[in-house]
Structure 1
Amino acid sequence: MIRRVITLVAGLAAMPALAAEGFRFASIDGGEIDLDEWRGKPVLVVNTASLCGYAGQFDALQALHERFGDRALILAVPSDDFNQELADEAAVKEYCTLTFDLTLPMTEITHVKGKDAHPFYAWLRDKTGFVPGWNFNKVLIAPDGSIAGTFGAPVKPEGPQIAGRIEAMLE
């Protein structure tokens, strides 16, 4: 048991820090979302898809955005890598605004896996082996830039694994 705990602690200590310089996403509203501007704050990056069965999680992501305000970044990254996103950014923006009253930051439709993956996701894959296996996979970056966790679609944003960790990071 002690050996497992030591291995777990060593593994967590070895998690790579986020080299946020250069990780910019094209915003669905125009301009850029620069992760470097959020240095020192928690960042939750979620690959999303409007037509996915997990799209109900948009409500929870919006609630986190409202709850944490400018103390944490909740970033939706629409992707059609799993063939469940609308045809273009205008359709995504309209759907998410009308259906979920979404105001949280969103990127343009972005690749999250494969050879065309956004540099953030390519870096994440290269450093940790994590590649989104479906829509609504989540990556939590701690204020110190370390990767606090990666989560699959079933993990609810409002639960203790994500919202609870963000709250603890802000204390």
Structure 2
Amino acid sequence: MSVHEYKVKTSSGFTANLEKYKGKVLLIVNTATKCGFTPQLEDLQKIQERYQEEGLQILGFPSNQFAEQEPREDGEITKFCAMNFGVNFPIFKKIDVRDQEADPLFTYLASQKPFQGFNMEHPTSKLLTSIINDRYPHYMEGDSIKWNFTKFLVDREGNVLERFESTTEPWDMDEDIQKALA
């Protein structure tokens, strides 16, 4: 099995086959526009621009599962990301990324790379951990997505290489992205 076997919905509701990204290194991210991590979109776009010629493609999947931090409709999300952060990588239809209704792509991604914990050196790690433990303790169970801006690095054949949690800043993945592109 590989990421390329999955189909997803575009923000306009069309079905897209991820097979079209075969041969590209993917960075798949669950996003939200009203999250403390939303500014990561700016650096994600810079990474897209820096490495797109070498074959990197970032794919954004909005989710409203974490403290309702994605209240916008699909078209509005794409517009917001473009206008506020210059995002031109694909932003797909809003989906669930965990629990019973999770999109199969994210269930697969989480099954391929287990949760290894948050980067506790990130300035918001303790606050994020406290919020999850107090309000959403079941989020910490298992390997499912814990919060917005969980990032998965996928090789050109569709194999999941790495998982980076919300508390990993985009440029902290640079070395891993370069290795995947080499």
Is the shorter-chain TM-score for this pair beyond 0.5, marking a shared fold? Answer: yes
Q: Matched residues in 2 for 1:31 and 1:163: separation?
A: 32
Any unmatched runs of 5+ in structure 1? Answer: 1-16
Alpha-carbon separation, structure 2, partners of 1:72 and 1:33: 18
| 2:14 aligned residue | 31
Aligned with residue 140 of structure 1, among 150, 153, 156? 153
C-alpha contact 1:18 1:141 (8 A) present in aligned 2 = no
Structure 1 SS opposite 2:170 = coil
- Quick one: structure 1 residues 87 and 19, their matched pair in 2 at CA, closer, same or farther if it must change by over 3 Å? closer
Task: Supply the AA of the counterpart residue of 1:40.
Answer: G
1:126 deviates by: 4.1
Match of 1:88 in 2: 73
SS at match of 2:4: coil
5 Å matches for 1:6-45?
A: 18-21=2-5, 23-45=6-28
TM-score of the superposition, structure 2-length normalised? Answer: 0.75
Structure 2 CA distance for partners of 1:163 and 1:32, relative to 1, 3 Å:
farther
- State yes or no: 1:168 paired with 2:162: no
2:174 maps to amino acid: A
How far apart, CA to CA, are the structure 2 residues paired with 1:170 and 1:121? 22
Contact map agreement 1:38 1:72 (CA 8 A) in 2:
no
Between the aligned partners of 1:27 and 1:163, the Cα distance in structure 2 is 27
1:103 shift after superposition: 0.8
Q: Quote the residue 1:12 is aligned against.
A: none
* Alignment partner, residue 14 of structure 1: none
Quote the residue 2:100 is aligned against: 115
Letter in 2 for 1:65: Q
Aligned residue among 32, 35, 44 for 1:49: 32
- Other-structure match for 1:61: 44
Identity of aligned residues (%): 27
User: SS in structure 2 opposite 1:158?
Assistant: helix
Q: Match of 1:75, SS?
A: strand
Partner of 2:144: 131
Q: In 2 relative to 1, CA 19–102 (structure 1 residues): closer, same or farther, beyond 3 Å? A: closer
Number of positions where the alignment pairs a residue of Structure 1 with one of Structure 2:
152
How far does residue 54 in structure 1 lie from its aligned partner after superposition? 0.4
